Structure 1
Amino acid sequence: MKSTLKSLISRNKEEERAYAASRQAEINNPETSTNRRNFLKKTALGGIALGGLMNLTIEDTIAHTTQNVKRSSNPSDLKITDMRYCLTNVMGGTAIIRIDTNQGIYGLGEVRDAADARYALMLKSRILGRNPCNVEMIFKIIKQFGGPARQAGGVCAVEMALWDLCGKAYGVPAWQLLGGRYRDKVRLYADTPEAASPAEQQKLINYRIKDQGYTWLKMDISISELKGKAGTVVNSKFWENDKGDLAQWGDQRNMMSYGNTAHPFTQIQITDKGLEELSQIVESIRNMVGYDLPISTDHYGHFDLNNSIRLGKAMEKYRLAWFEDMVPWTYTEQWKTISDALETPTTTGEDIYLLKDFKPLIHARAVDIIHPDLASSGGLLETKRIGDYAEEYGVAMAMHQAGTPVSFMASVHCAAATQNFLALEHHSVDIPWWEDLVKTTDGKKMIEKGFAIVPLNSPGLGIELNEDVLKQHLKSTDKTYFAPTNEWNEQRSHDRIYS
């Protein structure tokens, strides 16, 4: 035993010398921040004096030598010192934020896809100096600056980063902080884009089902598929852009464009011929997939309640998993009418911010499934609250997600902690570098056979950025990579919303 301990002592001293040298090198590095340098000095480890423990039992020796091991930070003394960002090329521009602290640990969050990073940066002055582990209190301070859809991106990004930080500070996964987990893996549904031909569509489907093991698919049934087919759509010419398209995502500055006109106000109608054409598309996909796998649908176009019901009835025989966002989420009574008219389940919610705006849909049972996007709905805790509230009314929850692995993993933790959860969207199946933007801290796969693996022991979200890959996929219009953001440090308004 004594020879074993001598060997341990010798090896320990070598490791200590190497560790001390690396810390000192970081302290001496002029690029090391003052906060990080102070943290390193304060937490410098002394030697483990095994030499003085030669007469103890091995159990007492181990207990003594591990009693001061620092397994987490000092959460009560944590303070937020900075917020920085980088803009990735995911979905044409999705920002990842990093919230730094005085103890050298940081949290990662994400501003929803295609939203402005400044939605998050404007919140920096409101959170500097605060303890990031007071997640709910900080959320209540900043939630007034969120709104529907991408306007909530900044608030949700901060909330994600706070849970990542809090989990790291206490050394537990984010799902544990939400109350525990119901599942060890999270079912995913793979978004399947439209293809130029049936052969190409079959290739996309085979890749998802056979190669990657997905057990749930989603597809678009867009009236854009009817372009150039005479007699299929009424009133389309008035709305077409200069390319002859009914562009759902058109010029954001033109408030009178087709994409910016709410569904009831376009007077677009689908003819019986058009319904037959769209039915053939769905039938083709159903024949490729079979009936063992659910198929969800989305992005039909901007037309009214009546045509939504006509389209829904035409698709009933294919037993689709759901019709998503047929009309805007704000029209609770219209959703109730559609849901009552159709046997196929209905869902909406990816653009809804906070539980309070889900409640009317849930109370009226206007949809069968709620469908929040954690990067818009309020973050991890608010989304779990939304799911729990819906569960009380017998309404299930699926989750929308179309961003980077940061919001993806935040959604995985939330899904793991929510009982009535069905499936989480994975929108980047065909992007080969998407998963490589991050590294899991437990070394396990992030996705396996169509399921996201819940990190069981990794603190926070369970990921770290893979900087070499991330730098290769920054948006060309903004190559900023977590540069200083001092211009956002000063708070310049009195934000209280009551007198």
Structure 2
Amino acid sequence: MKITKIDVMMVNGVATASTPWRPVLCRIYTDEGIYGDGEAAIAYCTGAPAAFGMVKDLAAMLIGRDPLDNEVIWEIMYKRTFWGQNGGPITFAGMSALDIALWDIKGKYFKVPVYKLLGGKKRDKLRTYASQLQFGWGEGTIAATSPEHYYNNAKKAVAEGYDCVKVDFFQFNEKGEQFTEEERTGLLKPYYVNLVESRVAAVREAVGPNVDIIMENHSFPDAQSAVQLGRAVQKYNIFYFEEPNTPNPKTARYIADKLEMPIASGERIYSRWQYAPYFEDQSLQLIQPDLGNCGGITEGKKICDMAHTYDIGVQAHVCASPLSTAAALHLEAVIPNFVIHEHHVFNLSSWNKQLSIYDYQPVNGEYSIPELPGLGNEISEYAFANSEIVTVK
């Protein structure tokens, strides 16, 4: 079997998203009629056009190769591109999209779900949390600005069966505007610390003692403000404190030493080489690799296996199209150190759901694993019709 051509596509920006939303997708075709779909998970904020270009460049290296040789192809993309080694999000996102599509082809070729090829699933259901409640919880996004908004959003998610929620309590001010960099870094004024704590307290009151709260930070604070915030809120039994500052093994160690709750990070850490220092000094207790930008399923599995050696848990980062959700579900079903699955609020919106042919959603806070061959999901005709597409032959 040989790869004959690859469609590389960037979906037109979605005006209704709270941030620019331009998923970068690909479809790899073979001479046996089997095709596979993948995604470079740089859908939001800046970078999508760069990822689109990277997938196009890398795609040319795959033409004529056997798609079942995913390990061989991964090493070629890593070693023969110059920028692959120690690469960043754009390079690894491009590699990820193609790698995920190769796994989709392999599953379809052998007529099994991807999880079978990864060694078999350890669980049929994945505990799932409602993610990013500062945007609301449902179709569309609305900035939460008062403790009452946070209380109501958390109540709504828990009523749907979730026993864990994630919120960035320091993203929007009381007018619904983003806080500035200056407001969120350095030693914070009491006003900001008290504002964040009031929102955390509202969510804890809403969900009660038996629902976990993940505190998202999106790397907006620095090490100093992160420690201030962490000390103020850890009494509310925070499940884990996510991306407290710019990912860096030394500052992660500093923050972990100052706080009494688990530290999580990973959506901006790429490849096993970049994860290794965090494992070696135990500065993270939970990692969040994104299969769409850490090197794909091939690399993601290796990262998770390395983490298991150090008793570090895994929650795949998922904020992209439903294709990325499917890939994460297969990996999380297999690994022994799985903790919980992220269900982003964007996955509830029609402008994202319509990009794939199936709309997998959790039930009572748990996700089932796709059982169709390959990923169990595909790019929709809508996505093809509403994208910039380049075919590489």
Partner of 1:278: 196
Which whole-Å CA distance do the structure 2 matches of 1:149 and 1:188 have between them?
26
SS across alignment from 1:270: coil
Equivalent in 58, 67, 73 of residue 123 of structure 1: 58
Which whole-Å CA distance do the structure 1 matches of 2:259 and 2:323 have between them?
36
Equivalent in 364, 369, 383 of residue 454 of structure 1: 369
SS across alignment from 2:260: coil
Amino acid at match of 1:408: T
Matched ranges for 1:193-204 at <5 A: 193=134, 194-204=143-153
Indicate if the aligned counterparts of 2:269 and 2:294 stay in contact, CA closer than 8 A. yes
Is there any run of 5+ residues in structure 2 with no aligned partner, and where?
Answer: 135-142
Pair 1:429–1:465, CA change in 2 (3 A) = closer
Partner of 1:305: 223
Amino acid at match of 1:216: C
Is there any run of 5+ residues in structure 1 with no aligned partner, and where?
Answer: 1-76, 229-242, 249-257, 490-499
Indicate if the aligned counterparts of 1:202 and 1:288 stay in contact, CA closer than 8 A. yes
Partner of 1:206: 155
Partner of 1:397: 314
Deviation of 1:446 after TM superposition, in Å, equals 4.5
Partner of 2:332: 415
Pair 1:272–1:201, CA change in 2 (3 A) = closer
1:177 aligns with 2:125: no
Deviation of 1:103 after TM superposition, in Å, equals 1.4
Count of residues in Structure 1 that have an aligned counterpart in Structure 2: 367
1:13-35 alpha-carbon deviations (Å, 9 max, x no partner): xxxxxxxxxxxxxxxxxxxxxxx
Indicate if the aligned counterparts of 2:219 and 2:246 stay in contact, CA closer than 8 A. no
Partner of 2:138: none
Which whole-Å CA distance do the structure 2 matches of 1:197 and 1:224 have between them?
10
Deviation of 1:335 after TM superposition, in Å, equals 1.0
Amino acid at match of 2:379: L
Pair 1:201–1:326, CA change in 2 (3 A) = closer
Normalising by structure 2, report the TM-score: 0.85
Runs ≥4 residues deviating over 6 A: none
Pair 1:153–1:283, CA change in 2 (3 A) = same
Partner of 2:94: 154
Indicate if the aligned counterparts of 1:81 and 1:102 stay in contact, CA closer than 8 A. no
Deviation of 1:450 after TM superposition, in Å, equals 2.3
Amino acid at match of 1:450: G
Partner of 2:380: 466
1:106 aligns with 2:21: no
1:382 aligns with 2:299: yes
Indicate if the aligned counterparts of 1:222 and 1:300 stay in contact, CA closer than 8 A. no
Deviation of 1:246 after TM superposition, in Å, equals 3.9
Equivalent in 4, 22, 27 of residue 93 of structure 1: 22
Partner of 2:349: 431
Normalising by structure 1, report the TM-score: 0.68
Pair 1:289–1:197, CA change in 2 (3 A) = same
Pair 1:455–1:302, CA change in 2 (3 A) = closer
Which whole-Å CA distance do the structure 1 matches of 2:209 and 2:264 have between them?
21
Partner of 2:275: 358
Which whole-Å CA distance do the structure 2 matches of 1:361 and 1:207 have between them?
35
Which whole-Å CA distance do the structure 2 matches of 1:465 and 1:275 have between them?
43
Aligned-pair Cα RMSD in Å: 2.6
Indicate if the aligned counterparts of 1:435 and 1:446 stay in contact, CA closer than 8 A. no
Indicate if the aligned counterparts of 1:220 and 1:299 stay in contact, CA closer than 8 A. yes
Which whole-Å CA distance do the structure 1 matches of 2:191 and 2:5 have between them?
61
Equivalent in 169, 189, 192 of residue 221 of structure 1: 169
Which whole-Å CA distance do the structure 1 matches of 2:147 and 2:303 have between them?
39
SS across alignment from 2:318: coil
Partner of 1:34: none
Indicate if the aligned counterparts of 1:221 and 1:300 stay in contact, CA closer than 8 A. no
Pair 1:99–1:315, CA change in 2 (3 A) = same
1:141 aligns with 2:76: yes
Indicate if the aligned counterparts of 2:39 and 2:323 stay in contact, CA closer than 8 A. yes
